[in-house]
Structure 1
Amino acid sequence: PSNRSQITFSAAYNVWKVMNCREPGGLGYATYACPDHPDQVTHIPKTCKSRFCSVCAKIQVDKWVADMNRLFPNCPYFHITFTVPSQFRILLFEKRSLLNAVFSAGAQTLL
């Protein structure tokens, strides 16, 4: 059976972008040429810039890490992961507005 009806437009679009990343026939390309040497043309394929793309995401993650490192105080810290029971994940997926309350509750457990 097909699950196509359960795939959101956003998910399908991101898959398409990743599959066509750096493909001149997919996302297109920029062409650069020197006016003095019109026979010397360079085509640069466009990138998807999707966080799901192993190449593009790495660039974005490195930038994000650098930005975050500027925000964090220069002291030891640790990372904590909060999980949501599987029974609630569908509800949170459908009602994104509830995520703030869930994260706030998680933060309160540390205070």
Structure 2
Amino acid sequence: MTDRSLCCTLNQPPEIARRGSLLKTLYESTLERRELEHGFAFQFNGDAATERKVFEFIAMERQCCRFLSFQLNLAAERGSIWLAVEGPDNMKEFARAEMERFGPHGIAAS
């Protein structure tokens, strides 16, 4: 993956606060985490509330962190949700720092 600088453009206090709250909620509801070559994958329950939060997270991140790409897998019958977040090589360091704000992350290498 090409090396693109990490530059988050989120700068409004309400948006920053909402992003932090959303990240914390999603982090705490993660069932499984996997390290990918260029990012991470996260598994969540497939309930409607979590689904809405995952969609909101993707929409927010696409606005402020344009260096990220997302892959979403929604299993049938409201099964689990897998979200893969990938970016430039240095993105994983940035993501680890974000996750560590919420406690031990125990990401399993795949």
- What range is the shorter-chain TM-score in? under 0.3
Normalising by the residue count of structure 2, what TM-score does the alignment of the two structures yield?
0.22
Compare relative contact order (CA 8 Å, sep 6+) and give the higher one, 1 or 2: 2
Normalized per residue, which structure has more strand? 2
Normalising by the residue count of structure 1, what TM-score does the alignment of the two structures yield?
0.22
